[in-house]
Chains A and B, each alone.
Chain A
């Protein structure tokens, strides 16, 4: 078990190194940080001074070494836009994103499992058809559009909920629904097909033959076997949400998380802040992946952890 965790940590470290190398190449070799971050009106001396300040006058290997060293101490440089350390901005905004993702995906998971089971136990019936149809529609809609339509209906027309911002708990409802809709659709479809497949297996017939009630077969045997697949997808949804969906949803609803901050930083040419956000998200994704693997081992002892 310990060796397994170590191996996964090593792989996680490789991912972080890969992200680091990519970010370094993209920001230092493809683009020029000085041009990106200073206004066009900056003089040649100002440019040179800034280049020296962030270490651009050093040879590339030295730059990369310093880059790695700064990362190891969570020093992402100063945010030019906020005029304070980029790490501080990221960790200040992170809880808002965590709240949004937890609310959206949590609701999706809680709803998806019962909906999927209901559909699976009545395949091709009217209820199943409605659920499958709604699911297909749900994963065919772009999130930014769903968000704007929800704003138009519930905030502009009905005036039940606020359009944007994060002042009260009511502000969380529309962004969370927008974020959770596509994951809800995918999780429901997966639960449905996994339960249908599982109910096909011989052990279900055995359990039913010895007189076990259907409900109990589902609850005791089937769900445990379906859980791994559903949780794998839920973990994947979590990663997808963190690595992109939140950017769109937070932009639509002006929700002050790191996705919105990333867009604002890009618009202001605040490279260090963008970089800091990419790193923190990459780190979180690595941790989630490891945690999920360990969770699966706990659910299904047959999984080999070497």
Chain B
């Protein structure tokens, strides 16, 4: 518990990371409580209220805070429900890609030898695949849909997990505690489960959060191209696509769903960037030196920090 409190103390001191975390919590809360917050049914059409601008614009009304689209659907409600599908797809992909990548990384790193070089060659080959083009090919054959999208994004994004896990496993295999465990007769399953896996939790969590941004952007792009989430379901990417034809007369249809994507991805980036630095002792050292330098110019630590960063004397 003490560790958790310490962690939170550090987080509060970094304004950007704290803002990021607040942003993430907001998006998750909106997704969970969507039916309670959304003023309208996101699919409900109203022919009499088509293309209404946001409330603060000249013809806008408070009834539709962010206006309505070409079918008279409430933009705000669509955005609120859109967060659900975005987070659902990204979580599912992170889970599947992560599970696949971790398994392959563990096997590869623990067994070593032939199996390792074979699996790593597979990773090399898949990394050089033309990513989105392959997704498009598969989707065009199988047909678009949420399930297809999740499966395809998982198959094209597991490699980074495998690489990270393998590197950590190789490192911890050489440590004294793993050797000790093997000497006292622990089987491979126990060694992996009890002694290696705990080392993976923090870096994997950071990696999954960083990867989340890529998946959110990829889902939005594929849905924008009309090959991801299909109507009547809502997705921010899909909403931008349908607003595209009205960009000349209704700027809000393209702007707001896009801002939702930017808000989500930026929040995650702010938080994950801080998390990455916090989990890395070397990066922590640098950050600490810089912090001291800022607060107390002229001290030894400050001079050391300046020297470390090559600032002007």
Q: Which residues of A contact B (CB under 8 A)?
A: 11, 14-15, 18-19, 22-23, 26-27, 30-31, 36, 121-124, 136-137, 139-145, 148-149, 151-152, 156, 196, 199-200, 204-205, 214, 239-240, 242-245, 247-248, 251, 262-263, 266, 269, 271, 274-275, 277-278, 281-282, 285-286, 289
List the B side residues contacting A139 at CB < 8 Å.
269
Check if B225 sits within 8 Å of A145, measured CB to CB.
no
Most chain A beta-carbon neighbours within 10 Å: one of B129, B130, B135, B251? B130
Check if A27 sits within 8 Å of B220, measured CB to CB.
no
Measured CB to CB, the closest approach of chain B to A117, in angstroms, equals 11
Binding stretch for chain A, among B5-13, B37-45, B199-207, B240-248 = B240-248
State A66–B286 Cα separation when bound (angstroms): 59
Known: A148-B254, A199-B309. A282 touches B130 (CB 8 A): yes
State A142–B219 Cα separation when bound (angstroms): 10
Closest to A11 in B: B124
Known: A139-B269, A199-B309, A200-B308. A14 touches B140 (CB 8 A): no
Known: A243-B133, A244-B133. A263 touches B225 (CB 8 A): yes
A-B pair number, CB within 8 angstroms: 161
| Secondary structure type dominating chain B contacts | helix
Does B141 have its Cβ within 8 Å of any Cβ on chain A? yes
List the B side residues contacting A123 at CB < 8 Å.
290, 309, 311
Pairs across A and B, CB under 8 Å, 18 listed: A11-B125, A14-B125, A19-B134, A22-B134, A27-B141, A30-B138, A30-B142, A139-B269, A140-B265, A144-B237, A149-B254, A152-B254, A156-B248, A199-B310, A240-B131, A243-B131, A248-B224, A263-B136
Does B1 have its Cβ within 8 Å of any Cβ on chain A? no
State A243–B126 Cα separation when bound (angstroms): 13
List the A side residues contacting B220 at CB < 8 Å.
142, 144-145
List the B side residues contacting A271 at CB < 8 Å.
140-141
Chain B, 79-131, CB within 8 A of any chain A CB: 121, 124-126, 128-131
List the B side residues contacting A286 at CB < 8 Å.
128
Closest to A139 in B: B269
List the A side residues contacting B261 at CB < 8 Å.
141-142, 145
Chain B, 120-169, CB within 8 A of any chain A CB: 121, 124-126, 128-142
State A69–B185 Cα separation when bound (angstroms): 54
List the B side residues contacting A149 at CB < 8 Å.
254-255, 258
State A19–B138 Cα separation when bound (angstroms): 12
Check if A140 sits within 8 Å of B266, measured CB to CB.
yes
Proximity bits, B283-311, A CB within 8 Å = 1, else 0: 00010001000100000000000011111
Partner among B124, B221, B273, B309 whose Cβ is within 8 Å of the Cβ of A142: B221
State A151–B129 Cα separation when bound (angstroms): 31
Proximity bits, B224-240, A CB within 8 Å = 1, else 0: 11010000000001001
Closest to B244 in A: A148
Check if B254 sits within 8 Å of A26, measured CB to CB.
no
Does B71 have its Cβ within 8 Å of any Cβ on chain A? no
Measured CB to CB, the closest approach of chain B to A205, in angstroms, equals 7
State A121–B261 Cα separation when bound (angstroms): 32
Does B3 have its Cβ within 8 Å of any Cβ on chain A? no
Partner among B224, B270, B309 whose Cβ is within 8 Å of the Cβ of A144: B224
Check if A274 sits within 8 Å of B269, measured CB to CB.
no
Does B217 have its Cβ within 8 Å of any Cβ on chain A? yes
Does B25 have its Cβ within 8 Å of any Cβ on chain A? no
List the B side residues contacting A243 at CB < 8 Å.
129-134
Check if B248 sits within 8 Å of A248, measured CB to CB.
no
Known: A124-B294, A136-B270, A248-B221. A148 touches B311 (CB 8 A): no
List the A side residues contacting B310 at CB < 8 Å.
121, 196, 199-200, 204, 214
Check if B237 sits within 8 Å of A278, measured CB to CB.
no
Measured CB to CB, the closest approach of chain A to B288, in angstroms, equals 13
Does B262 have its Cβ within 8 Å of any Cβ on chain A? yes
List the A side residues contacting B68 at CB < 8 Å.
none
Check if A26 sits within 8 Å of B221, measured CB to CB.
no
Does B213 have its Cβ within 8 Å of any Cβ on chain A? yes
Check if A196 sits within 8 Å of B134, measured CB to CB.
no
Known: A263-B225, A266-B136. A145 touches B240 (CB 8 A): yes
Check if A15 sits within 8 Å of B290, measured CB to CB.
no
A-B residue pairs, 4 tightest by C-beta: A244-B132, A199-B310, A31-B141, A145-B258
List the B side residues contacting A248 at CB < 8 Å.
132, 221, 224-225
Measured CB to CB, the closest approach of chain B to A76, in angstroms, equals 13
List the B side residues contacting A242 at CB < 8 Å.
130
Check if B247 sits within 8 Å of A152, measured CB to CB.
yes
List the A side residues contacting B128 at CB < 8 Å.
15, 239, 282, 285-286, 289
Does B312 have its Cβ within 8 Å of any Cβ on chain A? yes
Closest to A133 in B: B16
Check if B140 sits within 8 Å of A140, measured CB to CB.
no
Check if B213 sits within 8 Å of A144, measured CB to CB.
no
Partner among B124, B247, B270, B294 whose Cβ is within 8 Å of the Cβ of A156: B247
List the B side residues contacting A142 at CB < 8 Å.
217, 220-221, 224, 237, 240, 258, 261-262, 265
List the A side residues contacting B139 at CB < 8 Å.
266
Closest to B282 in A: A197
Known: A152-B254, A263-B225, A266-B140. A247 touches B240 (CB 8 A): no
